[in-house]
Amino acid sequence: MTNATENAPQTIVVPAPLQAGPLRPWAVIVHNDDVNTFDFVIRCLREIARLEMNNAIEKTNEIHKDGASQVTFAHREHAELICERLQGRGLTVSVERA
């Protein structure tokens, strides 16, 4: 004997395709410390975060005055890479969702 459900057509459910969207930005935040000089922080921001000179100076002043500054925004992996490279130079840096 054959069961009726064995001969019934089966429905295959195909998941919807993944849709790519824009990568959410993450902020690289440099925090003030009493160790690094203005010139050193500016140089690090220029070399690692690729800031223009005027922007690096502005961000360094903001770090000193306000205690921290969001120096750049990037997708998560790139923001974490910038963070690690700045930390490797001795700066206090964090990454958070922008």
Query: Residue 41 domain-assigned?
Result: yes
Query: Residue 95 domain-assigned?
Result: yes
Query: Residue 5 domain-assigned?
Result: no
Domain around 90 = 34-98
Looking at residue 74, its amino acid is A
Residue 82's pLDDT is 98
Structurally, how many domains does the chain consist of? 1
Query: Residue 22 domain-assigned?
Result: no
> Over the chain, what is the mean pLDDT?
90
CATH number at residue 68: 3.30.1390
Query: Residue 3 domain-assigned?
Result: no
Q: Residue 82: name the closest of 9, 91, 97 by CA.
A: 91
Residue 29's pLDDT is 98
Q: What is the pLDDT of residues 1-42, one digit of tens each?
A: 556 556 667 777 777 777 766 778 999 999 999 999 999 999
Any idea how long the chain is? Answer: 98
35 neighbors 14 (Cβ within 8 angstroms): no
Neighbours of 52 (CB within 10 A): 10
Alpha-carbon 18 to chain mean position: 23
Looking at residue 16, its amino acid is A
